[in-house]
A and B are shown apart, each in its own frame.
Chain A
Amino acid sequence: MKQKGRYGQFGGFYVPEVLIPVLEEIEAGFEKYHDDPQFVAELEILSRTYAGRPTPLYHAKRFSKQVGFQVFVKREDLLHGGAHKVNNVLGQGLLAKYMGKKKIIAETGAGQHGLATAMAGALFGMEIKIFMGSVDVARQNVNVHKMKLCGAEVIPVSGGTSTLKDAINDALRYWTAHIDDTFYLFGTAGGPHPFPMIVRHFQTPIGIEAREQCLDQLGRLPDKVVACVGGGSNAIGIFSAFIDDSGVELIGVEGGGKGVNTDEHCATLVKGSVGILHGAQTYILQDENGQIHETECISAGLDYPGVGPEHAYLKDSGRAVYTAVTDEQVLDVFELFTRSEGIIPALESSHALAWLASQKGKLSKDTTVVVNLSGRGDKDVSIVEQHRPML
């Protein structure tokens, strides 16, 4: 696998020896099936009839008026499960099925990937274990309940910071002891090769559709494409189709928490440095000795001290620009967008919207911006209520 899975200097597969054979097995399975006509046809039918693809590109006119330029929203929030995560779990779940695996494990932060995996487990008739930080279990209890309804076992992880990073640690540990029969359905375009490649592949329909829809609806490509970045799967999904369009600016928005100059944020690309975490060389948030930092962010789905290696490469090559917004900006736009459009955005996706709001007065009226609305915000209503009580 040596030369594969590199994005410039980033990526790779820095894992204990015990995981190498199983990563090679997944890589071989992906190479064998991802363009196999039967696999492609089966995934296409599921994407259309189960998940609800293609998703529309919606011109959010009232929100556009608020920010002063033209905002087009890629409605991944309309997918089954309420987020783009279903794209990846259908692809990887089907891959696991083709590879003859009957047990699946996954990590989850906000619970969206866990829920999507639990749904896929029910769909494919597989046994599912979801590793989830105990802090996240508490702040996303509705998703936890939904996962259980789908028949998944949810394993709260209390080590470390008890969030996504620790859920990944424990899922990796469990995997090393159960590699014979268990498929690790990785949720984001990060981790060791081949996961960044596989997750990217199954998320590319977002960008492919959005690009075609722009050409159809606008008659041209957009000026900018914006997405939130935690691990980076929804962002790489929408960016991928535009990478070769040099006139289209790509903007990733990270969780600025209480501010990127405080210790409480998860803005890995904005404030991190290069290192190795969870099998990949990438930007990470760490101290001067290489110990991984605790992160803090209103959105559990972005609360991660690493990032997918392709984003690290896009940053260093200058092809994409990464920035961060604070929790307060996110809450402001959550309210503004919901009131303007009657669409409740996930707090993760609200980071991308908050960047748009920050550009008010800076972009011309005819500037067109596509934003990936990666998920819906029903799961976040109680969190927003805690921060902004409605009297």
Chain B
Amino acid sequence: MGVYQNLFRKLNRAALIPFFVIGDPDTETSFQLVKTAIDAGADVLELGIPFSDPVADGPTIQKADIRAMKAGMTPQKALVFVKRITDYRPIPIGLLVYYNLIYQYGVERFFADFKESGGTSVLIADLSIDDADEIAPAAEAAGLETVFMVTPNTTDDRIQKIAEYTTGFIYTVSVLGTTGQRSGLSDLVKPLIGRLKSLTKKTICVGFGISTAQHAKDIAQAGADGVIIGSRIIKFIEDNSDDTDRMQKELAAFIKSVRVAIQP
């Protein structure tokens, strides 16, 4: 059984999965923030390597990418970062990257090095199931799990094909659009979770636009195995750039509040 499936089965509730851009706003603060999130109750981490042209991301994560790149984060350093985290606590880590970064690193070598650092899965934001054969064999060889996205406009046929290739979880995008905070939960997400449940037994984690504890609770109640929160978390970094203590306190309080909300 895979790492995620094993964890989700044991949890008896939806997993809480915060997203961070590695190295945002700088390597050390980023490390402290991720530790804070783990201590506050994160079950899984979704981590991004900053990229110059993140087309799937809205303004909040774009700005985080720029901060992290300016502070010197690179794919090599990101792998060191992942190792430091898993040394701190053996927590499943899903990586979210743009294809060019690992293409330049070398797909096979990257996957092997990420596995070596303690990573669990890799999701490539701009590589669809149609090109899965460019990465799936390398992921399997490295012992990594695969994660692919499903969006509200993905057809049933395609969902079944995506499920076949998925060994980790299906990253379910709640909106038509980029990452970013939303005031309300997309009305597309519950029907999508229902559709996924009717088509596959694979585990489902939902992300994009999940911005409040209530959103997370609603997603958990709709049957998701995990709730991914990105832009809302990164906003704590953006809003507290002058005070890392406050940054950590607000982040910890938010993570705890979400944990309470998703408790059945």
State the A residues within 8 Å of B (CB): 1-2, 12-18, 20-22, 159-160, 165, 169, 172-173, 176-180, 275-279, 284, 286, 288-292
Chain A residue nearest to B150 in the complex (CB): A17
Chain A residues contacting B178 (CB-CB under 8 Å) are 173, 176-177
User: When the two chains form their complex, are residues A165 and B127 in contact, meaning their CB atoms are under 8 A apart?
Assistant: no
A-contacting residues, B124-150, CB 8 Å: 125-131, 148-150
CB < 8 Å neighbour of B154 from A13, A21, A177, A278:
A21
Given contacts A159-B62, A177-B178, contact A15 B100 (CB under 8 A): no
User: When the two chains form their complex, are residues A173 and B153 in contact, meaning their CB atoms are under 8 A apart?
Assistant: no
User: When the two chains form their complex, are residues B100 and A17 in contact, meaning their CB atoms are under 8 A apart?
Assistant: no
CB < 8 Å neighbour of B104 from A20, A176, A177, A289:
A289
Map CB proximity to A onto B25-56 as digits: 1 under 8 Å, 0 otherwise. 00000000000000000000000000111111
Map CB proximity to A onto B163-178 as digits: 1 under 8 Å, 0 otherwise. 0000000000101111
A102: min CB distance to chain B, Å: 18
User: When the two chains form their complex, are residues B150 and A290 in contact, meaning their CB atoms are under 8 A apart?
Assistant: no
User: When the two chains form their complex, are residues B126 and A279 in contact, meaning their CB atoms are under 8 A apart?
Assistant: yes
* Distance A160 CA – B105 CA, assembled complex (angstroms): 23
Chain B residues contacting A277 (CB-CB under 8 Å) are 53, 100
Q: Is B92 an interface residue (CB 8 A)?
A: no
Chain B residue nearest to A273 in the complex (CB): B104
* Distance A275 CA – B104 CA, assembled complex (angstroms): 7
Q: How many residues of B contact A (CB 8 A)?
A: 42
* Distance A260 CA – B241 CA, assembled complex (angstroms): 39
Q: Is B58 an interface residue (CB 8 A)?
A: yes
* Distance A246 CA – B54 CA, assembled complex (angstroms): 41
User: When the two chains form their complex, are residues A17 and B148 in contact, meaning their CB atoms are under 8 A apart?
Assistant: yes
* Distance A291 CA – B105 CA, assembled complex (angstroms): 11
A155: min CB distance to chain B, Å: 14
Chain B residues contacting A290 (CB-CB under 8 Å) are 51, 75, 100-105
User: When the two chains form their complex, are residues A276 and B62 in contact, meaning their CB atoms are under 8 A apart?
Assistant: no
* Distance A15 CA – B56 CA, assembled complex (angstroms): 8
User: When the two chains form their complex, are residues A292 and B101 in contact, meaning their CB atoms are under 8 A apart?
Assistant: no
Residue in A13, A178, A276 with the greatest tally of chain B CB atoms within 10 Å: A276
* Distance A180 CA – B104 CA, assembled complex (angstroms): 34
User: When the two chains form their complex, are residues A276 and B126 in contact, meaning their CB atoms are under 8 A apart?
Assistant: yes
B125: min CB distance to chain A, Å: 6
User: When the two chains form their complex, are residues A14 and B177 in contact, meaning their CB atoms are under 8 A apart?
Assistant: no
Chain A residue nearest to B102 in the complex (CB): A290
* Distance A167 CA – B69 CA, assembled complex (angstroms): 20
Chain A residues contacting B57 (CB-CB under 8 Å) are 173
* Distance A291 CA – B54 CA, assembled complex (angstroms): 10
Chain A residues contacting B128 (CB-CB under 8 Å) are 13-17, 20
Chain A residues contacting B130 (CB-CB under 8 Å) are 1-2, 13, 20
List 8 A-B pairs, minimum CB-CB distance, nearest first. A177-B177, A290-B104, A18-B151, A17-B149, A16-B56, A290-B100, A291-B52, A292-B52
* Distance A275 CA – B102 CA, assembled complex (angstroms): 10
